[in-house]
Amino acid sequence: MKSTLDHAALAEEFNKDEERVDWHDGSLWWIRQKRDRAANQTPQWEELREAASAIKSNVISNLHDYLIQFEENLKKNGVKVYWASDAEEHNQIVYSILKEKEITQMVKSKSMLTEECHLNEYLEDRGIEVINSDLGEYIQQIDNEPPSHIVLPCIHKRKEEIGELFHEHLGTEKGLSDPTLLTRVARKHLNNVFLTRRAALTGVNFAVAETGEYVVCTNEGNADMGAHLSEVQIASMGLEKIIPERKHLGVFLRLLARSAIGQPITIYSSHYKKPRIGQEMHLILVDKGRSDLLARPDFRDSLKCIKCGACMNTCPVYRKSGGLSYHNTISGPIGAILAPNLDMKQHADLPFASTLCGSCTNVCPVKIPIHDQLYKWRQEIVKLGYSANRKTFSMKAMALTLSSPEIYKTAGKTGRWLLNNAPFAINNKFNPWYKQRDMPDSTQESFGEWYAKNGSKK
């Protein structure tokens, strides 16, 4: 979905239905609470976060070596390895693998990377049908809408709306909205997909350099269903998904599902290493801006992200504006620090869609200083000229006023005089503050003026 509206405008639209905002906010807050309970029940939770962050620091600092090691081990295991610098290259590689085998239908488990690459559209344009097998992504695909959340792709949809979609596209009876019954219908459709698809693509949660295996975490087992029944198995991964050794999974698997949804571990944490007899395995290592990010010291820590979505669930702005308002595959606080690296102009609004409250940083299982990065992206965006001229003008005026005690005193006096004598000059529809808020009661004198008269008596 290409949108020309920015986050603030899309969020304003979302907020027109307050009851819906409350429902959305409540659903995600419930998940945040589950995460808190899981964290509190885990011994040494904060030490685990520290360990995960340190392991990922090591990975980022030695990425080249680990990638080469991973590639060597993949090859030893009989997996075919590809390197893609961008979305186009990635999509071409997938297409060429399928074309060689004359495959025209593929099943795909959840992969934000392929969403970012718009793989489905690319393949569909070339006559290859792709079906998303993660239930949330399946629903989003039926509705022709991108995911609004990286872990919970259709969290913004109510069960009645999903029932309506199923009625329209899958022929269920009108008004059916029971989640269990709807899931059964989807499962029936998907089972047929799993049985008939010759190719399956999965994402990668963790790629173990030491062994050349990769781990895919799902709750639905859909990645496994696809992979086990396919003759061609493809995995797409961003360069940053590497972990050095298998033992490090003991840290990351404990953190991932707890941070994501307050669950001790995902139902399936499947290790893929070697192709079965008669099966082919392909793995595509995708850069797509990762190495640019690595070259930005202030921002490279965002490569530590394990895509748990905890920052989204805790973010009050995300909860009250919805993932689609971020007009980017990865939404929420983490999306707002990853997106400007890819296209600063198009995503110049996202680092400003935050109050810098810092809750995201505190829940992050790999301790990315998300809110500090939001602050730093704001500085970059302004310096490179992606800020409105109007804003720059008012900021310069503010800086001038605040750097001169005399102008500041006059401006303060003028402001207070206006509030007292001509409140309409401030309280009007051109002032966004005033739309739903009043100004504070005006005071006759500032503290500075009071102090000049009374300070010495104290």
Partner 1 sequence: MKIGLFIPCYVNQLYPKAAIATLELLQKLGAEVSYPSKQTCCGQPMANSGYEHLTQSCNDLFVENFSGFDYIVAPSASCVLHVKDHLHSHTDEAAATDIRGRIYELVEFLTDVLKIEKLDAHFPHKVGVHQSCHGLRGLHLAQMSELVSQDFSKPKKLLGMVSGLELTELDRVDECCGFGGLFCIAEEAVSVKMGKDRITDHTKNGAEYITSPDLSCLMHMEGIMHRNKSKVKIIHIAEILNSSSIKA
Instruction: Find the part of the chain contacting partner 1 (CB under 8 A) among 59-67, 177-185, 197-205, 355-363.
Output: 355-363
Shortest distance, position 99 Cβ to partner 1, whole Å: 46
**Which of 179, 250, 264, 455 is close enough to bind partner 1 by CB under 8 A?**
455
Which strands, in side-by-side order, build the sheet including 242-243?
242-243, 206-208, 213-218, 268-272
Instruction: Say whether 193 sits in a helix, a strand or coil.
Output: helix
Q: How far is residue 10's CA from residue 327's CA, in Å, rounded to a whole number?
A: 9
The only residue of 174, 390, 457, 458 in contact with partner 1, by rule CB under 8 A: 458
Q: Is residue 437 a contact residue for partner 1 (CB under 8 A)?
A: yes
CB of 374 to partner 1, least distance (A): 10
The count of C-alpha atoms lying within 13 angstroms of the C-alpha of 391, restricted to the half-sphere facing its C-beta, is 10
For partner 1, the closer of residues 189 and 378 by Cβ is: 378
Nearer to partner 1, 212 or 322 (CB): 322
Closest residue by Cα to residue 218 from 269, 150, 255: 269
Task: For the segment 373-392, give every residue that binds partner 1 (CB under 8 A).
Answer: 375, 378-383, 387, 391-392
* DSSP string covering 279-330: -EEEEEEE-TTHHHHHT-TTTGGGGG-----HHHHH-HHHHTT-GGGG-SSS
For partner 1, the binding residue among 221, 275, 369, 412 (CB under 8 A) is 412
Q: Which is nearer to partner 1, 41 or 192 (CB)?
A: 41
Q: By C-beta, is 58 or 442 nearer to partner 1? A: 442
Site for partner 1 in 3-42 (CB under 8 A): 7-8, 11-12, 14-15, 18, 21, 25, 29, 36, 39-40, 42
The span from the CA of 283 to the CA of 234, in Å, is 6
Cβ 329 to partner 1 shortest distance, Å? 21
Nearest to partner 1 of 234, 381 (CB atom): 381
406 class by beta-carbon count within 10 Å (0-12 exposed, 13-18 middle, 19+ buried): exposed
Beta strands at 105-108 and 280-286: parallel, antiparallel or unpaired: unpaired
Q: Does residue 452 touch partner 1 according to CB under 8 A?
A: yes
| DSSP-derived pairing of the beta strands 232-238 and 242-243 | unpaired
CB under 8 A: which stretch of 84-92, 108-116, 186-194, 440-448 binds partner 1?
A: 440-448
Q: Please tell me the distance from the alpha carbon of residue 196 to that of residue 420, in angstroms, as a whole number.
A: 75
Report 115-144 residues binding partner 1 (CB under 8 A).
none
From 101, 76, 78, select the one nearest 276 (Cα to Cα): 78
142 closest CA partner among 125, 161, 123, 118: 161
Closest CB to partner 1 among residues 2, 383? 383
Tokens 């405008």 -> residue: 9
Q: Which amino acid is at 166?
A: F
Helices (H), 1-150: 7-14, 18-40, 45-61, 63-76, 87-100, 112-116, 119-125, 135-142
Least Å distance, CB 378 to partner 1, is: 4
Binders of partner 1 among 163-192, rule CB under 8 A? none
Cβ distance to partner 1 smaller for residue 83 or 408: 408
Scan residues 296-315 and list those touching partner 1 (CB under 8 A).
Answer: 314
Q: What kind and span of H or E run contains 236?
A: strand 232-238
Q: Which of 83, 95, 268, 352 binds partner 1 (CB under 8 A)?
A: 352
| Among the listed residues 30, 393, 417, 450, the single contact to partner 1 using CB under 8 A | 450
Closer residue to partner 1 (CB): 268 or 352: 352
Q: How many of the chain's residues bind partner 1 (CB under 8 A)?
A: 74
Q: Which is nearer to partner 1, 103 or 426 (CB)?
A: 426
Contact with partner 1 (CB under 8 A): which of 171, 278, 297, 405?
405
Of 135, 107, 144, 143, nearest to 123 by C-alpha is 107
Interface with partner 1 in residues 38-97 (CB under 8 A):
39-40, 42, 45-46
CB nearer to partner 1: give 174 or 435: 435
User: Can you tell me which of 395, 410, 417, 420 binds partner 1, judged by CB under 8 A?
Assistant: 395
Q: Does 457 bind partner 1 (CB under 8 A)?
A: no
Residue 221 engages partner 1 in binding (rule: CB under 8 A): no
Q: What angle do CA 451, 454, 456 make, to 5 degrees?
A: 90
